[in-house]
Structure 1
């Protein structure tokens, strides 16, 4: 298995509750209180561990909430390297309203990271040992939009492949540097990247193919929720439908998808099969409530249901 590392510039303590109804003004009694270490790369590392692999998580954390975040990582026995910052690690909240089956998610911006802090993160990456680095999640305030492109430059110099899962300017600038192994945008993130709305699967596939043609990334996986996912590589693009299931929570589905796909690629699976495994993991994550991620038994069960191209 190739060595996997993850990078999380803006991690979060993920808090989940359940309540009967959500009202304004009045105090709402909640139950099923649950805490997890979260953020793109952290979640990817957790899922890879659940699938039977190992990924070292590199992350920024600070303040009183950063101490609590580290304690949660201890509970999960995660292999990790911390890059300390002064700002407080953010806390994201998910509330499941039992009466309606709706989920309410509150996601703060996070701390402001200073120039010496994000430059320290880049210097840290020059010392790591891995074959794949998954740079996943948003960039906190203070970090330049081209940060992931800078990470890719370090990957070229140090001999590791970079995988990106982000949004907005961080995604666009990261891709425009070129040479990325894999990018996993959602449909909304892809539309934001191209600054247009896509009316058909054909248009989505064409955009994914453009990313490959431009040399931005060799592999592109576009996730579209209940509409399935589209995969593009040098030989073209294909669409696979979603597995029909009853959703419990959408939290962590994208991270589970990416983790499983990277895990499979690390074992030298064919890219299309790795894509199918990603769909299986994303589907398995939707089966779990709150902030929980996918479980291997569910991933393997879903994998058998994912259609062939």
Structure 2
């Protein structure tokens, strides 16, 4: 499938997300699972599916290899997202989530993914450049697979600068530490921010100062720090704002960060003010918490939580 989109996502470490329930997770014994579901996954793929659910025209550039990759392509196609797969020799990884019904806990098992050759990496960048040329916003999200250098996302930022696209980046580890310029909005979790700067960042002022340090370095113009149940911090060069979460009990936390990024990207595509876009992202994350596995939410739920979140922030 081909076409143009307001938002283009990039996923270097695509996954087939498998989710299942178990009565009781214990060591050594066979754990009998049921109610399994399969979703196309990896950060950018999730963002694309969620942005599409919000009504945005979106294309997804993602790696796909082997029978698992073929299934991911089919799953992305079934969602209505414009898929732009980059075929690779290695097999696409699986990620496995088990919901332990006895304890209410969720166990997540994530594989590293296939090694990407230099040629495969180059083809990913070529596909991104072609797709981003007609897009206003690029979202690069997720971990870097084996074989991909830690400065890869800086090359993505350079492409976005060349074609005039706004880059939203959500990554961790070396992929985060090696970005030096060209990112419009950076979305680390509080854990990822702590790891990036190697500091505990216990207090909100410390967290704001850390986010602004990334801005002062030139890594990004805006930093949004996701805080889980505590909402998010929106930090710009001159200001900061704490945005509250919507209080609720979650069904699954998998993909909530991707939903936040999707909501923010859709808000930016609609040319909303930053604060409103981040609130929309929080509403999308709240709706995602109510769906199993990495299943997409209903747009009406996001709109309802958007109103609730705004009211909660003003209270």
TM bracket (short chain)? over 0.9
Superposed counterparts of 1:64-213, under 5 Å: 64-128=67-131, 129-174=134-179, 176=180, 178-213=181-216
Report if aligned partners of 1:96, 1:290 keep a CA contact under 8 Å in 2. no
Q: Cα offset for 1:215? A: 2.1
**Residues 26-84 of structure 1, C-alpha deviation per residue, up to 9 Å, x if partnerless?**
22221111000011110111011111111100011111211121122232232011111
Distance 1:170 1:226 in 2: 25
Q: 1:269 aligns with which of 263, 269, 272?
A: 272
Flag structure 2 segments of 5+ consecutive residues without an equivalent.
Answer: none
Q: Cα offset for 1:23? A: 2.1
Residue correspondences, number: 307
Report if aligned partners of 2:7, 2:138 keep a CA contact under 8 Å in 1. yes
**Residues 87-135 of structure 1, C-alpha deviation per residue, up to 9 Å, x if partnerless?**
0000101110111110011000000001111012122223222111100
Distance 1:49 1:28 in 2: 35
What secondary structure, in the 3-state scheme, does the structure 1 residue paired with 2:205 have?
Answer: helix
**Residues 214-242 of structure 1, C-alpha deviation per residue, up to 9 Å, x if partnerless?**
22111111011112210011331111222
- For the pair 1:26 / 2:23, whether they are aligned, the reply is no
Q: 1:12 aligns with which of 11, 15, 28?
A: 15
Distance 2:7 2:153 in 1: 17
Report if aligned partners of 1:253, 1:293 keep a CA contact under 8 Å in 2. no
Query: What is aligned with 1:37?
Result: 40
Once the two structures are overlaid, the 10-residue window that deviates more, 259-268 or 229-238, is 229-238
Distance 2:248 2:292 in 1: 13
Q: Cα offset for 1:288? A: 1.8
Query: What is aligned with 1:303?
Result: 306
Query: What is aligned with 1:281?
Result: 284
- Give RMSD over aligned pairs: 1.5
Q: Cα offset for 1:2? A: 7.7
